[in-house]
Structures are given as C-alpha cells and as structure tokens.
Amino acid sequence: MNNNQKNIKSGAIGVLDLQGGVFEHLIHLERLGVAGRRVKYPPDLANLAGLIIPGGESTCISRLLNIFEIKEPLLAAYRAGMKIWGTCAGAILVAGEVTGEQACLSIIDIAIERNSFGSQLDSFQKEALIPEIAAEPLPLTFIRAPKILRAGPDVNILLKVDDYIAAAESDKVLATVFHPELTGCIALHRYFAKKCGLTTETDKKTAIDPLWKNESWTKLARIAK
C-alpha cells in the first residue's frame, strides 16, 4: 500500500501529498540534498523532522485531511516535535484564525484571509529582502495568495509588505503566503531545513539556484521515463 514505509529514516522532510504543488517542493528539497518524502498516509509521518503543507486549494486539502483521518496523526507528530511549514494554501491550514471560516490545524497565532488579492489576473511576482533568510533580495511568487492580517505576540514577522504580512514564524511553525517552490529560490527551504535541525549540502550556499526552470517539477511526473 505504501512504498514510503519501507525506507523510513529520520532526518527527512515530508510534503503533504493530498492535492497541489507537491512535486515543486520535493524538487527543491532534492536541490538542497535533503531527503524528501510524500506524506499520504499517517505512517508516512513517522520520524519526520519537518512537514511542508504545499500550495493548492485549502478547502480541498482540509477536507481530505479530515476524511482520511490524517489531521489527528499530523497534529500528534507536530506535538512530538515535527516542524511545519505552510506555503499559500498551507499557510491558511496552519493559521489560528481564517476570515469567514473555521480554522483547520490552528497551530500558529496568525489571522489570515483567503484569496485576498483578487483573481488570477491579480497574481504577481516581486522581489523582497528577508534579512533572516538571505542577504540578497528573493523572488516571491503570489498566486491567488492569502494575506496574513495579524500576528500574535509569540509570532515573529519575517516579511511585511504594504498592509499585510507575507511571512511569519513561531518556534515550530513557518507560514509564507508566497511560493518559493515556484521560483529558483532555495533559501527558504534551506531555512526550514535548519529550523528542523537538518543540515543541507554545504556546497550550495546560494539563495537562488540558477539551474531551476519552471518545468523542473515535471521530472517527478513523467509519462515516458
């Protein structure tokens, strides 16, 4: 049933594989030499140092978390020390407060609003400096992105843009409303790996991998090998 169970080892970062941009994160982890693992069943959570909840549709992912009974095991792994990073839809799922709807995992004290910029025509790319993450400005991709409207006292704001917060973290949770996995930026994945207590390949210190292309994810979704 589950190929992952055979070679479970510690020191890996999982990517929640219910719907959305799973391959994009796995390819970024591969670039950093970090072991990545798809998380589809509760046993896949065993011994994970961290878990990435990817972009996708938050209502879909949250429904699947509930009906396939992954939510409770995921929260148990979190309480046992697994760090969690939510990107875009993932940031909505980790938030303690979601405008107009019930919060899902509620593990970081932020208030977030879904699809806060408008339609796809309002999606955009920009650059910003996040001093905690890298010394150079990083490319940020916002796709029908949410906005973090408020952060609690135990939450560190990593990036504020205009009237909203774009990245924030607590001791155990990182939330970004943009998609580093849709750019060549590997600095946030490196930062999260460090937060999980993992070491990344030392020869890759750069914030941006010049070899990244938007088609890079297709390597994990080939029709012909």
| Residues within the interface to other proteins (CB under 8 A) | 1, 17-24, 40, 55-57, 59-60, 63-64, 67-68, 88-89, 114-115, 118-121, 123-125, 141, 143-144, 179, 182, 214-215, 217-219, 221-225
Best CA proximity match to 21, nearest among 197, 211, 176: 176
In the chain, what are the helix, strand and coil shares in percent, each to the nearest 5? 30, 30, 40
Task: Considering the complex, state which of residue 148 and residue 196 has its C-beta at the smaller distance from other proteins.
Answer: 148
CA–CA dist 50, 13 (Å, integer): 5
49 forms beta bridges with none
Minimum gap (Å) between residue 26 Cβ and other proteins: 12
Minimum gap (Å) between residue 13 Cβ and other proteins: 19
CA–CA dist 28, 33 (Å, integer): 9
156: Cα separation from own chain's centroid: 17
Q: Name the amino acid, one letter, at 61.
A: I
For CA atoms 196, 85, 40, 209, the dihedral sign is negative
Minimum gap (Å) between residue 107 Cβ and other proteins: 21
Q: Crossing angle for the helix pair 58-67 and 71-79, nearest 10 degrees? A: 90
Task: Considering the complex, state which of residue 7 and residue 202 has its C-beta at the smaller distance from other proteins.
Answer: 7
Task: Considering the complex, state which of residue 108 and residue 182 has its C-beta at the smaller distance from other proteins.
Answer: 182
Minimum gap (Å) between residue 62 Cβ and other proteins: 8
Minimum gap (Å) between residue 153 Cβ and other proteins: 29
Task: Considering the complex, state which of residue 106 and residue 115 has its C-beta at the smaller distance from other proteins.
Answer: 115
Other C-beta atoms lying within 10 Å of the C-beta of residue 148: 26
Q: Name the amino acid, one letter, at 53.
A: I
CA–CA dist 63, 92 (Å, integer): 13
Q: Are 69 and 91 in contact (CB under 8 A)?
A: no
Residues designated catalytic = 88, 179, 181
Task: Considering the complex, state which of residue 123 and residue 199 has its C-beta at the smaller distance from other proteins.
Answer: 123
